[in-house]
Amino acid sequence: MTEADFLAALRRLPLHAGAHGLTDDAAHLGDLILTKDMVVAGVHFLPDDPPADVAWKLVATNLSDLAAKGAVPLGVMLGYPIGEEAWDRAFLAGLDEVLRTFGCPLLGGDTVKLPPDAPRILSLTALGRSAHAPRRDGARAGDGLWITGTIGDAGAGLAIAQGAAGPASLLARYRRPIPRLAEGQALAPIVHAMMDVSDGLLIDARRMASASGLAVTIDLADVPVSDDLKAFGHDALTAATAGDDYELLFACDGEPPVAATRIGTFATGEGLHPLQNGQPIPLPDRLGYQH
Amino acid sequence: MTEADFLAALRRLPLHAGAHGLTDDAAHLGDLILTKDMVVAGVHFLPDDPPADVAWKLVATNLSDLAAKGAVPLGVMLGYPIGEEAWDRAFLAGLDEVLRTFGCPLLGGDTVKLPPDAPRILSLTALGRSAHAPRRDGARAGDGLWITGTIGDAGAGLAIAQGAAGPASLLARYRRPIPRLAEGQALAPIVHAMMDVSDGLLIDARRMASASGLAVTIDLADVPVSDDLKAFGHDALTAATAGDDYELLFACDGEPPVAATRIGTFATGEGLHPLQNGQPIPLPDRLGYQH
């Protein structure tokens, strides 16, 4: 089945109201926020990514889903395939580091033994608490579209992980993303919609607009890119379609209370309308990572 | 690494207090109970088990962990590798059936695409709520050891799934276990210790005694076995070491408020002491499934 068919079929099952029709990255159970990821070697991470970085990224990307809800992390449940001693030890060291860095304890989980030829597959469930969890469907016409941090660094980092020459700072953005927990907590009570950018700025912005029943513009000239990325040679369009950024994308009116860049505007209508210095440009063929 | 080494290493990470040092099947977050399983084709289920039964068992065994805490299920998060159309559709039908049967909605999850040669791996996190969640370490000297239902049917069912001749009733006990939710909710406020039997009655009873710092007897003549199992030819010792029962094993004084069988007694000391009609018998080499 395709993912779309499978999700459509899941939506015909008994769903919790807090599942929001499986349209969001996280579920709500009262003020509890839940998110779950499975990652597969060769699909979601490179088989030769350092195991400590795999641990970091597995936790950090789930905490990024919590950040987009303004949640304070409560704990994680890990599903882990015990295998090669050195890999396991390095993974545990990275897990220790990421849990301590973000003050998020281990709650439990399960370990399994995989058949010898199976790719490494890991699973994580993260739990957090948020009194004001925004969704992605609440943007209003006239809202600004804002993004934290810089975009595209992780995409360059992936190219570097795959052999391109480039600085460690970009590689770190790919391997060790920093979930925007503090920003998410500050923004959650005041934004109209929020999500983290995982598949690419353009595709995720279009998803927010579509969920909100609106059109949105993005001016590529306003997309924040780092000096390292410019030196690496990626342009704003490459950056805005790369994905793996784990920055917070949000809709609000007025100025947000955190460092962020306004990159566009919501309006009545539909679709994503890219601009370059205020002038419409054609929609690129590829907006980001499509599942 | 061995599972024991890996768990020891996990215990040196930042642990949530509700993880109970990773000594329990479920974690506590206030009155919320959390449990997580990963299952692998060829390890935890047979590659030719019907997909609807794989779905049923994945949910039912996690709900059994909740039952052992006296919890009311709140929802599940599914991690699923989308693959072959027919398998996926049959899995979804079984998922629908098990969620409806136990009144437990889907909260969310994640889907992945596995490489073509990878074994099917599924993950489930189940959440429930319990005001009186017993643990496995609270048995007291003088407590009776009790078990719900009958033991060993699923072990015979596994043999039937692997080709032995036998009745559908036993096969169903292996493929479609029934979590003892109502019994768990009735027992939780009054038992001193409770767990579900997944690895075998003898090994799980020894774990409860060890966690409680006590010795325990089990009289094999008192172990409840079904007529079907007797007809199949499995004796009480085979039944008590087979596993996959998902019955509730508990310690209490006096008579419990649910249908159950007293099979032993806790006492000061340590270890599992099997009896046959009140006479000590040697400890079998194999007590159940060792991870």
Task: Report the residue from B18, B77, B111 with minimal CB separation from A107.
Answer: B18
**Residue B233 is assigned to a structural domain of this protein:** yes
Residue B138 lies in a domain: no
Question: Using an 8 Å Cβ cutoff, are B262 and B145 in contact?
Answer: yes
Whether B82 sits inside 8 A of A123 (CB atoms) is no
Residue A269 in this model has a pLDDT that exceeds 90: yes
Q: Are residues B197 and B148 in the same domain?
A: yes
DSSP A15: B
Residues in CB range of B213: below 8 A, 6 or more apart: B137, B270
Q: How many CB atoms lie within 10 A of CB A259?
A: 9
Q: Are residues B120 and B207 in the same domain?
A: no
**Whether B120 and B194 share a structural domain:** no
Please indicate, yes or no, if residue A290 is contained in any of the structural domains: no
Checking if the pLDDT of B291 tops 70, the result is: no
- Residue where one domain finishes, among candidates B104, B129, B154: B129
Strand order in the sheet with A32-40: A27-29, A32-40, A121-129, A72-81, A106-112
* Chain A nearest C-alpha distance from B254 (Å): 33
**A73 and A183 part of one domain:** no
Determine the structural domain holding residue A161 and report its residue range.
144-280
Cβ distance of A16 and B82 shorter than 8 Å: no
**In the listed set A129, A153, A186, which residue is the last one of a domain according to the structure?**
A129
> What's the whole-number mean pLDDT along residues B120-139?
96
Mean pLDDT of the region B42-64: 96
Are both A272 and A181 inside the same structural domain? Answer: yes
* pLDDT of A237 over the 70 cut: yes
pLDDT the model gives residue B116: 86
All residues of chain A having their beta carbon less than 8 Å from the beta carbon of residue B27 are 75, 77, 107-108
Q: Tokens 């860049």 belong to which residue?
A: A261
Q: What is the average pLDDT across A140-161?
A: 98
CA–CA min distance B107, chain A (Å): 5
Q: Which of B29, B78, B113 sits opposite A75 (nearest CB)?
A: B29
* Three-point CA angle B141, B139, B136, nearest 5°: 160
How many CB atoms neighbour CB A212 within 10 A? 22
* Burial state string for A50-75 with b = 16 or more CB within 10 A and e = fewer than 16: bbbbbbbbbbbbbbbbbbbbbbbbbb
* Candidate from A15, A40, A78 with C-beta closest to B105: A15
Q: What are the pLDDT digits (tens) for A77-114?
A: 999 999 999 999 999 999 999 999 999 999 999 999 99
A288, part of any domain: no
pLDDT of the residue at B90: 98
Q: Rounded to 5 degrees, what are φ and ψ at A121?
A: -130, 130
Chain A interface disruption, residue of B106, B122, B198, B290, most A CBs within 10 A? B106
Per-residue pLDDT tens over the stretch B173-202: 999 999 999 999 999 999 999 999 999 999
B34 contacts A107? CB cut-off 8 A: yes
Question: Does B285 reside within a domain?
Answer: no
Flag whether pLDDT at B290 surpasses 80: no
The answer to whether the CB atoms of B81 and A113 lie below 8 A apart is no
Could you tell me if A92 and A212 lie in one domain? no
Give yes or no: residues B94 and B188 share one domain. Answer: no
* Cα angle: B83, vertex B85, B88; to 5 degrees: 70
Cβ–Cβ gap A9/B89 under 8 Å? yes
Question: Looking at the structure, do residues A16 and A113 belong to the same domain, yes or no?
Answer: yes
Q: Give the residue ranges of the annotated binding site of B.
A: 25, 35, 37, 44, 65, 109-110, 136, 196, 198-199, 244
Is residue A136 in some structural domain?
Answer: no
**ipTM higher than threshold 0.95:** no
Inter-chain residue contact B10 with A77, CB threshold 8 Å:
no
Tally of domains within chain A: 2
Domain boundary among B129, B152, B173: B129
pLDDT at B185: 98
- Closest residue by Cα to residue B95 from A1, A11, A24: A11
Per-residue pLDDT for A290 more than 80? no
Task: Tell me the C-alpha distance between A43 and A37, whole Å.
Answer: 13
pLDDT of residue A61: 97
Contact pairs from chain A to chain B, CB under 8 Å: 218
Distances (CA, A) of A275 to A237, A241, A272, A282, A283: 11, 14, 10, 8, 9
Q: Is residue A138 part of a domain?
A: no
Residues 6+ apart with CB under 8 A from B197: B147, B151, B204, B243, B245, B246, B247, B248, B249
Of A233, A217, A250, the closest CA to residue A70 belongs to A250
- Name the binding residues of A for substrate: 44, 244
Which positions of B make up the binding site for substrate?
A: 44, 244
Length of chain B as a residue count: 291
Confidence of residue B289 (pLDDT cuts 50, 70, 90): confident
Give the pair of three-digit tokens for residue B56: 């049923």
- B23 confidence band (pLDDT: 50, 70, 90): confident
